[in-house]
Structure 1
Amino acid sequence: MPLGTSTINNESSSNSFESFFESWLVHQEHYLDELLHHSNSSSDSDLIDLVSRVLSHYQQYFDHKSIAARNNVFLVFSPPWFTPFERTFLWIAGFKPGLAFRIVANSAGELTADQRRRMEELVRETKAAEREVAEELARVQESVAAPPILEVARREGRKDGEVREAEVVEGLRREMEAVLGKADLLRRKTAEKVVEILSPVQGVTFLAAATQLQLRIRMLGLQKEAEIRTASSGW
């Protein structure tokens, strides 16, 4: 593929997801209003419905992110739709699944003995899964940093070397996409299991705190970018 075509495709993929992401964030703010202003008299069924709709909204994000990864997984690992500040919080192109437990500790209030037992078990399972995914990513990175595969391919002859180089890059792309898929699945499953353990009211409180954290990090990132632009312009 010519370099110019690759660049155009990268920009198209980035712009497409960025457009979706901006729209998704607007809806995220609307859901936050619902989560924060649910009535104390709301029935469990109403709260469960709200939790389900919020989780479905997150699923839309993961679905579109998966499409973006199929177009260019390397772009998703260093997403230009996030500010530099937001990217400092990323673990395999997203928040670390275990962050959910810190949010629970700070927002859900007192847990019952059974909830504590189930949450502690989930913490152990999640940490083990995080290590497994991180180790898999490390293996992929080490395979790239090891022998100069691309240089060897080039020495095989220009035409044949280009084919081999394309095969290496394609293999790397598939492995990176697989790791990302496992990380996103772990993020989604962890949130779902946390909500299953919590009561409907606690589930709403947990999702409200998680959404607030995400939007606060986003806001701070945008503010920092604005400050840098202002400073560089001399104003």
Structure 2
Amino acid sequence: MADASPRTDISTDVDTDDKNQQYDRNQSLVAVASDSSDRSKDKSDHKTLRRLAQNREAARKSRLRKKAYVQQLESSRLKLTQLEQELQRARQQGIFISSSGDQTNAMSGNGAMAFDVEYARWLEEHNRQINELRAAVNSHAGDTELRMIVDNILAHYDEVFRLKGTAAKADVFHLLSGMWKTPAERCFLWLGGFRSSELLKLLITQLEPLTEQQLVGITNLQQSSQQAEDALSQGMEALQQSLSETLSSGNLGSSGSSGNVANYMGQMAMAMGKLGTLEGFIRQADNLRQQTLQQMHRILTTRQSARALLAIHDYFSRLRALSSLWLARPRD
């Protein structure tokens, strides 16, 4: 019993030392792992902070661009208001300022500037009528009320065709150029207005469901409008070709002798006579547009006609809005 006691103490000490060494190694491994984890976490935090900083900078630049864009829109709106005021003053004074800006001619009120003012007034009244129609449709008004509003809008379209007929006598080139329209509208301008056939294509998709008879009627109207438009377009091409041949006949580089002057005056007289037919082209194109609207109204029900007029208005409103956005776009 006395001999065993020392051996037991030695064994116990050895086991304790091994456990201590093993513990120290484990602690070292834990420390290394912890240090590695801290470094990885620091690196991840650094990337996160850098990404957040980049996002804040991108958001700041986006806000600046948006602010500049809004300012440009507001500036364009103010310029438009100023232009409308100038047009109103010009109409009251009975004057016309030429497109070149270097000439002022007295007019009787039937010129390009007067037409622009009258058209702006027509458009304002048209918007009011469309708002009235939209409210009636949304409130499920009866057919009698809708028919009255639709008839008023169609009669109002007749008024703009009358205004254009008067303006064509004063300055047919102003109507053909489309300068009374917004830039996006001018992209689709045809002989001083819209193509009836294109609007009918739009309406076929907007007015579904249509009865088979209505679909046939709208399709036939679209095709006949297309044929009439093609005929007028061919007539305009022929007129342009004829004018070109008239103006290019003879020796363009000859001196101003009496014979050449007479030839020149004869050419100008012929060209003027051919230009006189432009007014007829405008009148025929507007007649086609007017008849198409009336035929469309006969084919559709009152409620469908109301939806058709709203769709036409919304289409042109979007073109005008697109023009405003285009003119106010950032240019950097």
- Range of TM-score over shorter length: 0.7 to 0.9
Q: Does 1:130 align with 2:232?
A: no
CA–CA distance in structure 1, aligned partners of residues 291 and 106 of structure 2: 30
1:28 is matched by which residue type in structure 2? H
Corresponding residue of 1:222: 324
Greater Cα shift, 31-40 or 196-205: 31-40
C-alpha contact (below 8 Å) 1:100/1:190 kept by paired residues: no
Report the TM-score, using the length of structure 2 for normalisation: 0.61
Corresponding residue of 1:103: 202
Report the RMSD for the aligned CA atoms in angstroms.
2.8
Q: Does 1:33 align with 2:135?
A: no
Per-residue deviation, 1:162:
6.2
Percent same amino acid among aligned pairs? 24
Report the TM-score, using the length of structure 1 for normalisation: 0.84
CA–CA distance in structure 1, aligned partners of residues 195 and 278 of structure 2: 17
Would the alpha carbon gap of residues 97 and 173 (structure 1) be closer, same or farther in structure 2, given more than 3 Å must change? same
1:61 to 160, 167, 178: 160
CA–CA distance in structure 2, aligned partners of residues 93 and 66 of structure 1: 11
C-alpha contact (below 8 Å) 1:98/1:126 kept by paired residues: yes
Larger Rg: 2
1:217 is matched by which residue type in structure 2? L
Greater Cα shift, 48-57 or 166-175: 166-175
CA–CA distance in structure 1, aligned partners of residues 155 and 295 of structure 2: 14
Greater Cα shift, 192-201 or 106-115: 106-115
Q: Which consecutive unaligned segments of at least 5 residues does structure 2 have?
A: 1-97
Would the alpha carbon gap of residues 165 and 33 (structure 1) be closer, same or farther in structure 2, given more than 3 Å must change? same
Corresponding residue of 2:217: 118
Would the alpha carbon gap of residues 165 and 8 (structure 1) be closer, same or farther in structure 2, given more than 3 Å must change? farther
Corresponding residue of 2:73: none
By relative contact order (CA 8 Å, sep 6+), the higher-ranking structure is 1
Which runs of structure 2 are paired with 1:131-146 in the superposition (5 Å)? Answer: 131-146=230-245
Secondary structure of the equivalent of 1:69? Answer: helix
Corresponding residue of 2:115: 17
Secondary structure of the equivalent of 1:94? Answer: coil
Corresponding residue of 2:193: 94
Q: Does 1:213 align with 2:312?
A: no
CA–CA distance in structure 1, aligned partners of residues 186 and 166 of structure 2: 20
Secondary structure of the equivalent of 1:148? Answer: helix
C-alpha contact (below 8 Å) 2:150/2:306 kept by paired residues: yes
Per-residue deviation, 1:147:
4.2
Would the alpha carbon gap of residues 71 and 124 (structure 1) be closer, same or farther in structure 2, given more than 3 Å must change? same
C-alpha contact (below 8 Å) 2:246/2:271 kept by paired residues: no
Per-residue deviation, 1:65:
1.0
2:149 to 50, 56, 60: 50
CA–CA distance in structure 2, aligned partners of residues 207 and 146 of structure 1: 43
Secondary structure of the equivalent of 2:121? Answer: helix
Secondary structure of the equivalent of 2:196? Answer: coil
CA–CA distance in structure 1, aligned partners of residues 251 and 296 of structure 2: 48
Corresponding residue of 1:85: 184
Corresponding residue of 2:92: none
Per-residue deviation, 1:209:
0.6
C-alpha contact (below 8 Å) 1:51/1:203 kept by paired residues: yes
Q: Which consecutive unaligned segments of at least 5 residues does structure 1 have?
A: none
Corresponding residue of 1:167: 269
| 1:166-219 CA-partner distances (Å, limit 9, x unpaired) | 423432332111111111111111111111100000000000010111122112
